Amino acid sequence: MAADIAVVSFERFLNGDDNDRKAVAQEIYDAFSSVGWVYVKDHGISQARVDEIFRLAKTFFDLPLEDKLKWKLTDASVNQGYTADGAEGNGGIDHKECYEHRRYRNDLCPAEDVLPGFRTTLDEFYAQCLTLGMNVLRCLAIAMKLGDGFFDRITLRTDPQMRLLHYPAIERKIIEQEGHARIFPHTDFGLCTLLFQDSIGGLEVDPFHTGDFKPATPRPGTVLINIADLLQRLTNDRCKSTRHRVVSPKTEGDMLPARFSIPFFIHPDPETMIDPVTLSADEVKHYEPVNAGEWRIAHTMKDYKLADAPKEAVASA
């Protein structure tokens, strides 16, 4: 049975009055403080645009490997460019390849004459995702009565990571071996993630935080949004950063079809200290403050196996 993840329409937030916005904010908060995931529909990004990005992703990943390696991601502090199948892992062997696109620096991006429209279209979609993500964070601020501008202050120079993800077609028996997956169970480590997925399926979440993973089935027209580790810390465990993974889709046959997805990972301004918010004088903070920039680099290094990440910076993840 699929995970019980609420579907929330964002229409009343975008076009309604204060009361409408409060009602949507509460629905989003309820989802984030239980399962940690929500499907958002009527989010203002057209399906035509989303389809266009999936097409661009396919065009990019169809290029020969030696071409893609010209844009190879090597620097965790920039975290931009291409990562080949098998190069990233968080505890097991992932069968996927990715391309990361950033806000301020995209040196490792195919040029216009190589992939016409790639950079400009990704930049436009990036801006739309950022607007949507900031509105979702505003919902949290409204529901928790932190003041509407709370997240604007800690995301002044936010530089999210938009990721094009391709899970190549692969034999089922490879993915279903012990220690292999399309993506191994993990939590995301920033503030929150917007996730667009195609119709293939295979994404699963751990809704009760017990290790009992349930499918997060593709729902056309929606974007899945999940809480990541820094928001769980910042909200002093009110919002849940929930483990998730990508396994074989429920299809017949020995070969799994290729799957594409597009996560957009929102991180705070790198200078920000993430210190848990307490809502009453006797509430105890569950976490020490951490510097958002150091946290991000340490986790990126760990995931991409780029070097040994400083142990103290990742120990509390």
The contact set with Fe ion (CB under 5 A) reads 188
Closest to Fe ion by CB, 94 vs 188, is 188
DSSP 284: P
Residues 257-276 that bind ligand AKG (CB under 6 A): 261, 263
CB of 205 to ligand AKG, least distance (A): 9
Of 53, 162, 52, nearest to 101 by C-alpha is 162
**What does the block give as tokens for 305?**
């196996």
188 makes contact with ligand AKG (CB under 6 A): yes
CB of 96 to Fe ion, least distance (A): 11
In the block, which residue shows the tokens 């991006």? 109
Of 92, 88, 3, nearest to 39 by C-alpha is 3
Residues 135-174 that bind ligand AKG (CB under 6 A): 163, 165
DSSP 250: S
CB of 167 to ligand AKG, least distance (A): 7
Closest to ligand AKG by CB, 165 vs 239, is 165
100's enclosing H/E stretch is strand 97-101
Rg (CA), the chain: 19
Residues 15-54 that bind ligand AKG (CB under 6 A): none
Closest to ligand AKG by CB, 188 vs 206, is 188
223 makes contact with ligand AKG (CB under 6 A): no
Q: How many residues does the chain have?
A: 317
Binding test (CB under 6 A) with ligand AKG, winner from 183, 205, 266, 292 = 183
Chain centroid to CA 249: how far? 20
CB of 249 to ligand AKG, least distance (A): 11
Q: Report the residue number whose CB is nearest to Fe ion.
A: 188
Size of the site for ligand AKG (CB under 6 A): 11
Closest to Fe ion by CB, 153 vs 209, is 209
Partner from Fe ion, ligand AKG, none binding residue 246, C-beta < 5-8 Å depending on class? ligand AKG
Q: What CA–CA distance (Å, rounded) separates 226 from 119?
A: 26
Chain centroid to CA 260: how far? 14
Of 129, 143, 122, nearest to 279 by C-alpha is 143
Partner from ligand AKG, Fe ion, none binding residue 197, C-beta < 5-8 Å depending on class? ligand AKG
CB of 259 to ligand AKG, least distance (A): 7
Q: Report the residue number whose CB is nearest to ligand AKG.
A: 261
244 makes contact with ligand AKG (CB under 6 A): yes
Scored b (16 or more CB within 10 A) or e, 27-56 reads bbbebbbbbbbbbbeebebeeeebeebbeb
Distances (CA, A) of 189 to 90, 215, 241, 293: 12, 21, 8, 12
Residues that bind ligand AKG (CB under 6 A): 163, 165, 183, 188, 195, 197, 203, 244, 246, 261, 263
